Amino acid sequence: MSSNRGIAYMEPGVVEVQDIDYPTFELQDGPGVNPANVGRKLPHAAILKVVTTNICGSDQHMVRGRTTAPPNLILGHEITGEVVETGPDVEFIKIGDIVSVPFNISCGRCRNCKERKTGICLNVNPDRPGSAYGYVDMGGWVGGQAEYALVPYADWNLLRFPDKDQAMEKILDLTMLSDIFPTGYHGAVSAGVGVGSTVYIAGAGPVGLAAAASAQLLGAAAVIVGDLNQDRLAQARSFGCETVDVSLGDPRDQIEQILGVPEVDCGVDAVGFEARGHGAGSGTEAPATVLNSLMGITAAGGALGIPGLYVTGDPGGVDEAAQKGSLSLDLGTGWAKSLSFTTGQCPVMKYNRELMMAILHDRVQIAKAVNATPISLDEAPEAYREFDSGVARKYVIDPNGMLSSDRK
């Protein structure tokens, strides 16, 4: 049996590289594993040698101590890998395939999966609909920031790249298919972005930048990205976005300077529950700020896509309500303007094949848009610290040295 190493959350602000168990075709007990999932047989699974696995802002929420994640939880839900072993029930996925792993785990058998709602599969998490690798309250499936990872329901979940050599040439783009590219795209699609749209995206982190690139791919006439971080705003401008510095105040005035009117057709929240105030309040956490701002600046009859994460348990919330995920929303404005809202996990499988084709045929350069930066597994703890400081990078972990010749 091979050895394995992975990135574990230890306590707020601390992650470390640990020796961990090599995957088996049975879900073992461990940190965060739902007792009802312990011992679950997985003959339909595949074991992957991880080619790339990315640090996500959602991971950072846990590492900051803003969730109820337990110590020693193995992190990582953005996984691309090479199949090295398959269970006896796997029929179509073959050893040697290079594959993308949707971050949401789904069975392919339940009603929601059959309706392409794979973000809320009914059969993989005993606690609630929906699951993910290496994430708190998501059933306890082991994370993929590791040398080897296991994927259940492999024939259903895995997206196989058609040519191995081409995949490795474009791996920094293709690694984004596991989460942030489909998630950003979902935010743009659910906000109604189309040819000629004007769109405001709150947040210039990797998901916000992916949403911006997606809006361009969908034909938006003007893509405006707002943030407090100057480096991230500069990254948005690097591929043709307009930007708004929300430390100067509500986005409305700056949007009017760009468009001539103080509103947009479509709004995307790529910030989530750790949002900060605008203007004079930009140094203070105010979790409803982004949603309320978007309701104010989105045109009547428009829509909000909300890929930004909101949680039901936040120990660091600003007040008792926020600690339970209850926010003071200006819902009256949203109702009066007939705005629609789409929240929740992106159903990655709804989009990932089409986005793969866009990458393979050079229709989008998503790695460049999010500033993909390869690192080794041992460099990951420092990368978490840098990411938390707000650097304009998307860290791509190379746990098995398969990208070493492409290192920056």
CATH classification of 5-179+347-406, choosing from 3.90.15.10, 3.90.180.10, 3.40.640.10, 3.40.1030.10? Answer: 3.90.180.10
The pLDDT > 70 percentage for the chain reads 99
Residue that is written with structure tokens 């790695």 in the block: 367
Q: In whole angstroms, how far apart are CA 313 and each of 234, 252, 254, 327? A: 33, 31, 34, 12
Beta bridge partners of 199: 223, 266
- Where does the pLDDT of residue 404 fall: very low under 50, low under 70, confident under 90, or very high at 90 and above? low
Q: Above 60 in pLDDT, residue 405?
A: no
Residue that is written with structure tokens 């590289």 in the block: 17
Predicted local confidence at residue 312, as pLDDT: 84
Burial class (CB in 10 A: 0-12, 13-18, 19+), 5: middle
| Per-chain mean pLDDT for the chain | 95
- Where does the pLDDT of residue 321 fall: very low under 50, low under 70, confident under 90, or very high at 90 and above? confident
Residue that is written with structure tokens 């940190």 in the block: 31
Mean pLDDT of 168-189: 98
Burial class (CB in 10 A: 0-12, 13-18, 19+), 368: middle
Q: Above 50 in pLDDT, residue 201?
A: yes
Mean pLDDT of 191-220: 98
Nearest to residue 226, comparing CAs of 189, 200, 253, 194? 200
Q: Any residues with CB less than 8 A from the CB of 289 and at least 6 apart, and which?
A: 275, 276, 277, 278, 281
8 A C-beta contact, residue 147 and residue 402: no
DSSP states of 244-256: EEGGGS-HHHHHH
What CATH architecture applies to the domain 181-342? 3-Layer(aba) Sandwich (3.40)
pLDDT for 74-120, tens place per residue? 999 999 999 999 999 999 999 999 999 999 999 999 999 999 999 99
Task: For 86-105, give one letter per residue: b (16+ CB within 10 A) or e.
Answer: bbeebeebeeebbbbbbbbb
- Where does the pLDDT of residue 407 fall: very low under 50, low under 70, confident under 90, or very high at 90 and above? very low
Query: Which amino acid appears at position 58 of this protein?
Result: S
Predicted local confidence at residue 315, as pLDDT: 87
pLDDT for 224-243, tens place per residue? 999 999 999 999 999 999 99
Torsion of CA 43, 58, 34, 49, to 10 degrees: 30
Question: Distance between CA atoms of 167 and 177, rounded to whole angstroms?
Answer: 12
Question: Distance between CA atoms of 261 and 270, rounded to whole angstroms?
Answer: 23
Q: Above 80 in pLDDT, residue 1?
A: no
Nearest to residue 119, comparing CAs of 357, 353, 352, 350? 350
Query: Where in the chain are the domains?
Result: 5-179+347-406, 181-342
Task: List alpha helices for 206-360, DSSP H.
Answer: 206-217, 230-237, 251-259, 289-297, 320-323, 331-336, 352-360
Q: Do domains 5-179+347-406 and 181-342 have the same CATH topology?
A: no
Predicted local confidence at residue 408, as pLDDT: 42
Kindly report the pTM of this predicted structure.
0.95
Q: Which helix (H) or strand (E) holds 20?
A: none
8 A C-beta contact, residue 54 and residue 396: yes
